Amino acid sequence: MSENEILGTFIIAFFGFFIVMLVVGLILYILQAIGLFKIAKREGRADLAWLAWIPIASTFLMTLIVENDVHKEFRGKLTLIYGIAFAASVILSSFIPFVGFISTIIIYYAFYFLAKKFSPNPILHLVISIITIGIAMPISIFIFRNREAIIHDEQEPIIDSPDM
């Protein structure tokens, strides 16, 4: 084989890989959009469900869906915190390394509470999503779309007092 044939083969293989990744990414995007759209409608956010189809807005929709389910310190503020972190990562990531991970961590945090709401194994969904670098997240969200919310009993732990 000559250099030109090797180079041509390499270019064809590269474009083939690029096309396959583009198709896989598009499929994952559609699965996540369908899942978030249905979840948002069911959770009383039908007015904002269309945001599931807009790439960056869909992450804001996910934080809005779980805004009342997160830890008390973040309730009502998670979307604002994510917005600030996202803006900071866009502006500062070229100057300060790893700033972009802050918004990614917040999305994983929101995904955990979404998984907790619709799955008996939220940690499993979170770990698989982290291991696959987020590729499993759209699949999990698509799976959650038809599930009913799980009601978690958030009782304080019972501590025996010395009087007993």
Q: Does 133 reside within a domain?
A: yes
Burial environment of residue 48 by CB neighbours within 10 A (0 to 12, 13 to 18, 19 or more): middle
Is 110:63 a contact under the CB 8 Å cutoff? yes
Q: Does 111 reside within a domain?
A: yes
Q: Does 19 reside within a domain?
A: no
Q: Give residues with Cβ within 8 angstroms of 39, minimum separation 6.
A: 65, 114, 118, 141, 144, 145
Q: Does 96 reside within a domain?
A: yes
Q: Does 7 reside within a domain?
A: no
Q: Does 6 reside within a domain?
A: no
Mean pLDDT of 37-53: 96
Q: Does 58 reside within a domain?
A: yes
Among 86-100, 108-122, 125-139, the least confident range: 86-100
Q: Model confidence at 158, in pLDDT bands (50, 70, 90)?
A: very low
Q: Does 39 reside within a domain?
A: yes
- Structural domain including 111 reads 27-144
DSSP class of residue 155? P
Residue 156 has pLDDT above 50, yes or no: no
Angstrom CA distances, 39 to 12, 61, 67, 157, stand at 41, 10, 14, 31
User: How many structural domains compose the chain?
Assistant: 1
